Amino acid sequence: DVKVTQSSRYLVKRTGEKVFLECVQDMDHENMFWYRQDPGLGLRLIYFSYDVKMKEKGDIPEGYSVSREKKERFSLILESASTNQTSMYLCASSYPGGSYEQYFGPGTRLTVT
């Protein structure tokens, strides 16, 4: 059974703080993704990574960066948190080829005040 975990379920940060969200998967998946989920907007891709130290921007990368130093861990970084980054953040992983199914983490509800 694939297990994707995220470091926090709920997080409250102040405007201007640097925020780290971490995601870990235990299935040796090459691909990992960060999404934000907002009502009426679906899941929007922020960044994804297809291998260690490899990353590509998604559809809404502004204000975010990522780090993937180890295959199982993919971190999302908010360099200077702003109130418009208040959202649900979901991490996912998948194995290249085969089913392409993405396995999601439980999500982190981030509030920036």
Partner 1 sequence: GENVEQHPSTLSVQEGDSAVIKCTYSDSASNYFPWYKQELGKRPQLIIDIRSNVGEKKDQRIAVTLNKTAKHFSLHITETQPEDSAVYFCAASNAGGTSYGKLTFGQGTILTVHP
**CA angle centred on 51, ends 65 and 2, rounded to 5°:** 95
Does residue 28 interact with partner 1 by CB under 8 A?
no
- Rounded Cα–Cα distance for residues 79 and 63 (Å): 7
Residue 84 three-state SS: helix
Q: Give residues 49-78 in contact with partner 1 (rule: CB under 8 A).
A: 50, 56, 58-59
* 94 contributes a contact to partner 1 by CB under 8 A: yes
Residues that bind partner 1 (CB under 8 A): 4, 31, 33, 35, 40-45, 48, 50, 56, 58-59, 90, 94, 96-97, 99-102, 104-107
